[in-house]
Structure 1
Amino acid sequence: MKLPEGVVLLDSLGDLQPDNTYPILVCGSHCGGNRALAAQVKYCHVQAVFLNSAGVGKNHAGIRGLNHYEAENVLACAVDQNSAEIGISLDTWESGIISHMNPKAEAAGIQIGDSVKEAVHKLSSIIQITSSTEKNEAADSPVKDETKNSSSKPELKVQTQTQIDGIDITVTDSITFLNENNAGDIVICGSHGGMSAGHYAQKRGVKAVFFNDAGIGKNNAGVKSLESLSEAGILACTVDCMSAEIFNGQDILDNGIITVCNVLAKDRGITEKMTVKESIKLLK
């Protein structure tokens, strides 16, 4: 599939690298987050980003990133979670319909109801596209990139450890913030429960994981990873996006209400409408 010049597809923001040279990012991740996440996207040379609205959810957490991207001078749009599968960038590109945007996107002439492809076309005259030759020259250049080595590089990978009834758990805002030391952990995270998030959970070898259902959305994409996680031996559940904020692991722990459980979770007695804290107590 040939994409317009300057466009890159990524299923997860966790896959975005500092050496990215594509100014327009079409991503399967949610449009939540904080200023540090928006700064990280800007640090990776992104000028415009298209993300999933994740059901909008509690306190509009699914689109909270729009204001943060605006503050970082990054054009940002969210697509309706029922128009494109969360965690699947190709579907965001092919089927995503804009549901929310920041003022920078509005100023560019993007409108609610536009397809992602239509919106990207409108950016062709205002987004500076680096040619392939310039990209290669930049990659080969021995000149040090002071921006990349700056102390202002955003730091995002944060997790905390706590206990519920003597059970050790790891709390983090994103499944992408885990590392090899989290193998075997019970994880409460603010990520959606889509396929890309499930891949990260498997990669880190966690014991159990609780996600946000991101409004469930098109083709049940917000909870789609649960079955494959069960097959991989990982207990997994999602919580209602209206009960707890996406990209807020602590809120998932404190207020999350279970919406979907995989087979391994059901085998431990976890059911819909339980709180996350009630569910964890069954993991002794």
Structure 2
Amino acid sequence: MPDPLLADSVTRLDGAQGRTVVTGSHGGVYAASLAYRSGCRAAVFHDAGVGLDSAGIGGLAWLDRAGMAAAAVNHRSAPIGDAAAMLAQGVISHVNAAARATGARPGMTCAEAAQLLEAAVPPSGEAPEIREGREDLQPLHGGRHLVLVDSASLVGPEDAGKVVVTGSHGAIFGGNPANALKADAYLALFNDAGGAATSRLPALQARGIAAVTVAAKSARIGDARSTYEDGVISACNGLAAAMGATIGRSARDFVNAALTQGT
């Protein structure tokens, strides 16, 4: 059987048509929709610690409705954002019904599941288009701009100097520090995807950008508004600590304070 296509991010699925994909992205609904739109046969995601409202695996049930087999790797078995590591050492934690029909089961290795998924029936159902959200909120009383983006892929150069709250995980995908953030924001927030997804923080510290993660159990991964409204800080870099970030502080409280700092 052919080897699966490895993609550290589900936003980069060139050549996925008809293939089984192992992606380092979380298994949320938007990530699942991108996999479906790529034309792949089946997909394995990272469960991102499952998290609040099971957002880290929400895409598996969504894909079942579209007739596509999907599974997720346990966050304790392999790092998020690293498809090769997932294939080499990942252990499956969740499967949808279409994946189970191929013999894929929780507890088997990612490599075993990926081989079984090669026998999955290609999806033929209809799936609604899912769009990630971006909100640009105007500053109050001369403060900084606040940007809410469900994915860090929606950040652009125009976000330099802003407070950027994302729904993305806090790990550098592909091991490349340049992927940490596409703008020199004043502050950036991410989801810790179960605890270990924090490698963006030191990378952003080196660029002079304050950054924190919120606990996956406190906020829905893939949902920037949940990061902001529900999130509880789980880790921070030195610059963020100097601004008042502490483990256990609410993201909303910290962000609201940061919006008026240094302006």
Q: Does TM, scored on the shorter chain, surpass 0.5? A: yes
With the length of structure 2 as denominator, give the TM-score of the two structures: 0.87
Q: Among 186, 201, 219, which residue is 2:163 paired with?
A: 186
The alignment covers a number of residue pairs equal to 251
- Code of the residue aligned with 1:85 in structure 2: it is P
- 1:260 aligns with 235
Using the alignment, how far apart are the partners of 2:53 and 2:235 within structure 1? 21
Report the Cα offset of residue 77 of structure 1.
0.5
1:138 corresponds to? none
1:105 aligns with 2:99: yes
Provide, for residues 35-58 of structure 1, a one-character-per-residue CA deviation record: whole Å limited to 9, x for no partner.
xx4333222111111111111111
User: Is contact 2:161–2:184 with CA below 8 Å preserved after alignment?
Assistant: yes
1:171-210 deviations in Å (ceiling 9; x for gaps)? 0111112233323321111111011296444333333210
2:9 to 3, 12, 18: 12
Tell me whether 94-103 or 179-188 shows the greater mean CA deviation: 179-188
Cα distance in 1 for partners of 2:61, 2:105 equals 17
Per the alignment, residue 192 of structure 2 pairs with 213
Matches of 1:96 and 1:268, distance apart in 2: 37
Residue of structure 1 equivalent to 2:51: 57
Q: Which runs of 5+ in 1 are unaligned?
A: 129-151
Give the Å deviation of 1:163: 5.1
1:245 aligns with 2:220: yes
Percent sequence identity is: 30
Cα distance in 2, alignment partners of residues 21 and 254 from structure 1: 38
Q: Does 1:45 align with 2:21?
A: no
Aligned 8 A contact 1:6 1:22 in 2: no
Partner of 1:147: none
Q: Is the 8 A contact 1:43 1:153 kept in 2?
A: no
Q: Which has the higher helix share?
A: 1
Question: Could you tell me which of 182, 192, 197 is aligned with 1:203?
Answer: 182
Counterpart position of 1:77: 71
Q: 1:156 to 1:102 in 2, by over 3 A?
A: same
C-alpha RMSD of the superposition: 2.3
Distance 1:55 1:234 in 2: 26
Alpha-carbon distance change, 201 to 169 in structure 1, aligned in 2, over 3 angstroms: farther
Summarize deviations over 1:228-273 as a string: whole Å, max 9, x none.
1111211110011111111111011111110100011011121111
- TM-score of the superposed pair, with normalisation by structure 1: 0.81
Q: How does 1:61-210 map to 2 (within 5 A)?
A: 61-126=55-120, 154=129, 156-162=131-137, 166-196=143-173, 199-210=178-189
Secondary structure of 1:13's aligned partner: coil
2:69 and 2:120 in contact (8 A); partners too? no
SS for the counterpart of 1:205 is coil
Q: 1:124 to 1:64 in 2, by over 3 A?
A: closer
- Paired letter, 1:31: G
* Residues 115-137 of structure 1 deviation map (CA, whole Å, 9 limit, x = unaligned): 01111222344467xxxxxxxxx
Please state whether the residue corresponding to 1:15 is helix, strand or coil. Answer: coil
Q: Any conservation in 2 of the 1:175–1:200 contact (CA below 8 Å)? A: no
Q: Retained in 1: the 8 A contact 2:219–2:226?
A: yes
